[in-house]
Amino acid sequence: MRRKPFPASLVAAKASPIHKLEIDKPRSENEKIARIPTNFLLDHLPRKVRDRIEAELVPVSLSLGEVIHKPGQEIRDLYFPTTCMISVTVTMRDGRTVEAGAIGSHEVVGINAFMGGREITQTEYVVQLPGDAIKIGADPLKIEFNRNTEMRDLMLRYTQAFMAQMTQNVACNRLHRTEQRLARWLLEVRDRVQADEFLLTHEFMAEMLGIRRASVTDAAAKLKKMGIIETMRGYIKIRQLPALEKISCECFKALKEEYERLLGGSSNSPRKLERA
């Protein structure tokens, strides 16, 4: 079954901790700037390209369940997530849905707009964790992709990394235990939304991992008993990151190393845009 939206009361009750910076301790201006959520690919565009497209970049907030692209639609806009996560999903004729890949602060939605075809066929892009992103029309980026070899190289290497993610997901879903897969998936969510707390139901995680809800509940209960995560209805918080990494299967580390090999590590030059 397709995922049902969270009740409005739950979203309102739980939205405030998500992506919230610590404000208990005073921070210098440099520390505050360094903690502004950002997008790796956008920050690593060549300076000349970034300067030319700056006026086209529009900060947006994406809501839970929002569909960014549907099968058969022409891709007119690209989205660079900063604090949201967008799932690439495949839906069967009987309505069952499974996640093929996840897109967050390392990635971009809509890259096939300038990869030879502007339509997506079998996949749907759905916001699975609400938050912020930076939107830009496909045409300005396509112009830069065609004329700037440095940008083209970055986007092609990213495409290779994303293909590696989908390939690794196939192997992981076939070969590893539920606890390992759940730990790996939570680590990937954490990396992509740059936060330790998420609005996630067991039903949704089961749908994304392609397993029974009861299996997710059992695995989450084990992690909670060990003090690794904290859970409430529709809410998960990672409490012990090293322990979660230890339980995770090899896929998380392997994929992280592949991203670093192809893209050169994490972003360290965040920028802040005023909301339009």
Q: Is residue 241's pLDDT more than 80? A: yes
pLDDT above 70 as % of the chain: 80
Question: Residue 218 is part of a domain; what is its CATH number?
Answer: 2.60.120.10
254's tokens = 């392997």
The answer to the question of residue 23 being in a domain is yes
- What span, in angstroms and rounded, lies between the C-alpha atoms of 105 and 42? 9
The answer to the question of residue 275 being in a domain is no
Q: What pLDDT score does 20 carry?
A: 36
230's tokens = 């904290």
Q: What pLDDT score does 116 carry?
A: 67
User: Which run of H or E residues covers position 133?
Assistant: strand 131-137
Please report which confidence band the pLDDT of residue 70 belongs to, taking 50, 70 and 90 as the band edges: confident
Mean pLDDT for the chain?
A: 79
Structurally, how many domains does the chain consist of?
1
The answer to the question of residue 270 being in a domain is no
Q: Is residue 195's pLDDT more than 90? A: no
The answer to the question of residue 112 being in a domain is yes
Q: Report H helices in the chain.
A: 8-15, 29-34, 40-43, 47-53, 138-147, 149-175, 178-193, 202-209, 213-225, 241-247, 250-263
- Residues 61, 90, 261, 188: what is their CA dihedral angle, to the nearest 10 degrees? 60
The answer to the question of residue 22 being in a domain is yes
Residue type for 188, please?
Answer: E
The angle subtended at Cα 23 by Cα 22 and Cα 26, nearest 5°, is 115
Cβ atoms of residues 228 and 187 within 8 Å: no
Q: Is residue 239 classed as helix, strand or coil in its secondary structure?
A: coil
Mean pLDDT score, 67-88: 90
- What span, in angstroms and rounded, lies between the C-alpha atoms of 41 and 155? 8
Q: What is the pTM of this model?
A: 0.76
The answer to the question of residue 47 being in a domain is yes
The answer to the question of residue 1 being in a domain is no
Task: Report pLDDT digits (tens) over 79-106.
Answer: 999 999 998 888 777 877 777 788 999 8
Task: Report pLDDT digits (tens) over 126-180.
Answer: 998 899 999 999 999 999 999 999 999 999 999 998 888 888 877 887 788 889 9
Please report which confidence band the pLDDT of residue 107 belongs to, taking 50, 70 and 90 as the band edges: very high
Q: Which domain holds residue 195?
A: 8-263
The answer to the question of residue 268 being in a domain is no
Beta bridge partners of 79: 109, 135
Q: What pLDDT score does 72 carry?
A: 81
Q: Helix 178-193 vs helix 202-209: angle between axes, to the nearest 10 degrees?
A: 100
